[in-house]
Amino acid sequence: MGNSKLLFNKRPLIVDIDLATAVGLNESIIIQQIHYWLITNEEANRNLHDGFYWTFNSYPEWQKQFPFWSESTVKRAITKLEKQGYLISGNYNKLKIDRTKWYRINYNKLQTSVDSPLGQNDPIIESICADAPSQYDLTNTIDYPEITTETTLQGNSKNSINKGNSKEISMQFKDYVKKYPEVIILDDIIPAVEYYMAVYKAYAGKKHPNLKESQWERVVAKILHFEGAYDDEKYMELDELEKMVDKHFITEYENCDFNICHFVNGDIMKNRFYEECC
């Protein structure tokens, strides 16, 4: 696999100044850690796909390796490295529903950037990295009409929800996640829904009502597969969704109780995205 004199194979989190100057301090710390795992996987001869060694993790798991940062900070840095071409992402997960990203480093691009005139032969910065989700209760039950979506969790899980079950119980989101643990791997979904619930409670002065299982399923699917303005990938930053939610609650609607089912219905999310994130 590729290598670079700018990256180190030891456990301590060490960052070269030239690297930090070229890609950013946060980004250089993260890419060094990813390099560590790539080297580890190469030595163990694991995670070899398409001629390259890869590493993978959900954003919450990456954040555990950088306890001095929030999850959103980690996600922004990784996304920036992807968009700039320093990280190449893939999906080698066994389950289609699993959107956990796999990463490898574009060593050639990295070296080219560091060799630019901006690079300086300064000393290194060393930082030791340690090895190594909001509470709410929902009440009341409200029935909402069917929300259609091309892609849902239905059929992708051994625990698929029976939408035609008239006796379908209502539950809190956290209980839905416990019952259908495949949602847990959707690392952006849980904090996204929890944020909506927190804003709803602050706005309405009460907790969000329970939803039926099939309604939670459609909410998850709508957020997960929201395309927004991106044509190349179905991907949305958590901080973007938070801006959309904030805008949603100050927008005037006709006969709206601000249930999350309304937020994911029709073009509501897309309109708020274009208003706040473009």
CA 175 – CA 180 distance, rounded (Å) = 9
Which two structure tokens, joined as six digits, stand for 101? 């990203």
Identity at 37, one-letter amino acid code: W
Query: Tens digits of per-residue pLDDT, 223-232?
Result: 877 765 444 4
Q: Which of 160, 193, 195 is CA-nearest to residue 179? A: 160
Structure tokens at 76: 């922004």
Task: Give me the phi and psi of 170, to 5 degrees please.
Answer: -100, 150
Per residue of the chain (278 residues), give pLDDT as tens: 666 666 656 555 667 888 888 888 889 999 999 998 999 999 999 999 999 999 998 888 899 988 888 888 898 899 889 888 999 998 888 776 667 889 999 999 998 888 864 444 344 333 333 333 322 222 333 333 333 333 333 334 434 444 444 467 889 888 888 887 766 555 667 888 988 999 999 888 889 999 998 899 888 888 877 765 444 444 567 788 888 999 999 988 887 889 999 999 888 998 898 888 77
Instruction: Summarize the chain as % helix, strand, coil (round to 5).
Output: 40, 10, 45
Structure confidence by residue, pLDDT tens digits, 29-88: 999 999 989 999 999 999 999 999 999 988 888 999 888 888 888 988 998 898 889 999
> Cα–Cα distance between 157 and 155 in angstroms, integer?
6
How many angstroms separate the CA atoms of 242 and 135, rounded? 17
Nearest CA-CA partner of 216 in 159, 265, 176: 176
Please check whether residue 183 is in contact with residue 189, taking contact to mean a CB–CB distance below 8 angstroms: yes
- Measured N-to-C along each axis, helices 25-43 and 71-83 cross at an angle, to the nearest 10 degrees, of 80
Is residue 198 packed enough to be buried (19+ CB in 10 Å), middle (13-18) or exposed (0-12)?
A: middle
Tell me the two tokens of residue 13: 């989190």
3-state SS record for 17-54: HHHHHHHCHHHHHHHHHHHHHHHHHHHCCCCEECCEEC
- pTM for the structure as a whole: 0.43
Domains along the chain with CATH numbers: 13-127 (1.10.10.10), 139-276 (no CATH)
Judged by DSSP in three states, 87 sits in strand
